[in-house]
Each structure stands twice: as C-alpha cells, then as structure tokens.
Structure 1
Amino acid sequence: MASITIRNLDDELKARLRIVAASHGRSMEEEVRVILSQALSVQDKRGGLGSRIHNRFAALGGAEVELPARKTKARAADFDE
C-alpha cells in the first residue's frame, strides 16, 4: 500500500479532524482514508463528461441524425501547414 504525507495542514483543520475521527471511533489516519474514499467514489459514479451530458439530456428524447456516407477514405491530420 502507498502512503502520503500532508504538509502545511492548518492547526484548526487538524483539530477538527481529530474530533471527527474520535466521534467515529477512528484514528485520524483512518478518518482521512474514509474521507478520501468517499470523495473519490462519488466522482466515479458520475462518469465522464460525455456520460454526464448524456444523462442530463436523455430525458428530452435525443435526436436522430442521418450521417452521410463517406465518399473518401479517412486520412491522418496534417499539422505541418
């Protein structure tokens, strides 16, 4: 397992963390692990930008767009020009 060190943590923030950890019956280190795990799991459930845009507008029904047939073969982008 990896470990991290947090420098320049405000004294008041550390005191609040200690109180919250004690109220949950955990060490400060365990409390930080729980906080990080919860914060990052919420982000994972939301999905990427495309998924979030789709979910926001899915209830509107979407749109059917007819794509034209490709007439030429796809080519690589040329950034030298």
Structure 2
Amino acid sequence: MATLTIRDLDEATIERLKARAKAHNRSLEAEVRDLITASANTPNWASFRREAERIAAKTAQRPQSDSVELIRADRDNDSDYR
C-alpha cells in the first residue's frame, strides 16, 4: 500500500471530515480513505457524455425515439406492471 500526504487543508474541512468519520463510526483516516476510493471509482461522466454524443452523431439522420414513451408503452403492454 502507498502512503499519501495531504498538506494545507483548512481546519473547517478537517472538522467536517472528523464529523463524517464520527457519524460513520470510523477513524478520520478510514473516512478519508473511503472518500478517496469512492471518488476514484466514480465513472467519468464527461467521457461517457462525449462517447454518447459521438454515437448519436452517427445516427443524426435517423429519427430518435423518446425512451420515456417507449418504456411507458412497454409497461402498458405488460401485465406485470398492472
């Protein structure tokens, strides 16, 4: 495992992190580790959006269906939703 040192965090931030840690019944270190891990594992939505736009551009000449309407029609035809 690597070690990471974070310098120059303001006291208010540290106090909020301590409060979060206490609320989750863990140490400040464990809380920060969890926050960093969760942040690193969050999908890159900007990259996803660019890829979706790239794919949509390939079918720009074709009419696009509204997914809400398609889902609603599917539910209306499915007895499990009634």
TM-score under structure 1 length normalisation: 0.58
Q: CA deviation at 1:43?
A: 3.3
Richer in helix (by share): 2
What 5-or-longer segments of structure 2 have no aligned partner?
Answer: 61-82
Give me the identity figure in percent. Answer: 33
Give distance in 2, aligned partners of 1:59 and 1:27.
46
User: Of residues 59, 62, 65 in structure 1, which corresponds to 2:59?
Assistant: 62
What 5-or-longer segments of structure 1 have no aligned partner?
Answer: 64-81
What letter matches 1:39 in structure 2?
Answer: S
User: In the comparison of the two structures, how many residue pairs are matched?
Assistant: 61
* Structure possessing the higher radius of gyration over alpha carbons: 1
- 2:65 counterpart of 1:53: no
1:1-81 equivalent positions in 2, closer than 5 A: 1-43=1-43, 46=45, 49=47, 52-56=49-53, 58=55, 62=59
Instruction: Tell me how large the CA RMSD over aligned residues is.
Output: 2.7
* Off by >4 Å, runs of 4+ in structure 1: none
